[in-house]
Amino acid sequence: MSDEEETGRRFSYWDISAMKATPGVWAEKRRLAAAMRLVIERLVESDAPEQELRLAANGLERYAEQLETHPRRHQYEGWAETGPAGSTAAFFDQSPLIGLANPLAPPISLEADGQLVHGHVTFGSAYEGAPGCVHGGFVAAAFDEVLGFANSLGGNPGMTGTLTVIYRKPTPLHTPLRFEARLDRTEGRKIFTSGRVYAGERMTAEAEGIFVSVLPEKFERLLAERQRLDRERSDEG
């Protein structure tokens, strides 16, 4: 296997299930994020009494203040669609779509089978748009992540240029969804991908994405700007 092929493999073969046994801080971050997901899901549907909600809000506000006393992480590894597998815990766990340590993430699990990508997710009530349906914006965001994973299979991954989503049927909440995506072709720096999402055997939406491979100097500029903003936030804190 060439160095280029091996680099592509490192970028491509991300399987969220392989991360679940990570010990230490990241394990506790995942545990906390999972608990926060449950709170979010149940709060959306809950008719809890005012006093209970007040006590919970007071506790969360205190913990938010406690978190502010700790140093912020400044290291940034990878980027939203195409982080290398070598940066697993630090980047993938923080992704807003696949991150086990990010309470915003559903999360989506991803795996590659040759040139085909499989994604699995169940969206809860916090992601509702039309009654009983996943908000279309979250469907699009999920496609962005899944197609982004597919674009990395070529070994020269890029950032989203365009994303076109066609909504065929309502995408149901509380239902296991299956994404399928593939890398179709490359033309210079442009990487063309396509995908579909299914609820059972019913396709609810399909998408096409064009990703643009990132030049090293562009990524370095983005990284430098990110680090500058991190320093400013720390100084303000």
- The confidence band for 85, taking pLDDT boundaries of 50, 70 and 90, is very low
Residue pair 205/166 in contact (Cβ under 8 Å)? The answer is yes
pTM of this structure? 0.80
Q: Which domains can be identified in the chain, with CATH numbers?
A: 1-237 (3.10.129.10)
pLDDT digits (tens, 9 = 90+) for 152-193: 888 888 899 999 999 999 999 999 999 999 999 999 999 999
- Out of 14-28, 65-79, 95-109, 146-160, the most confident range is 95-109
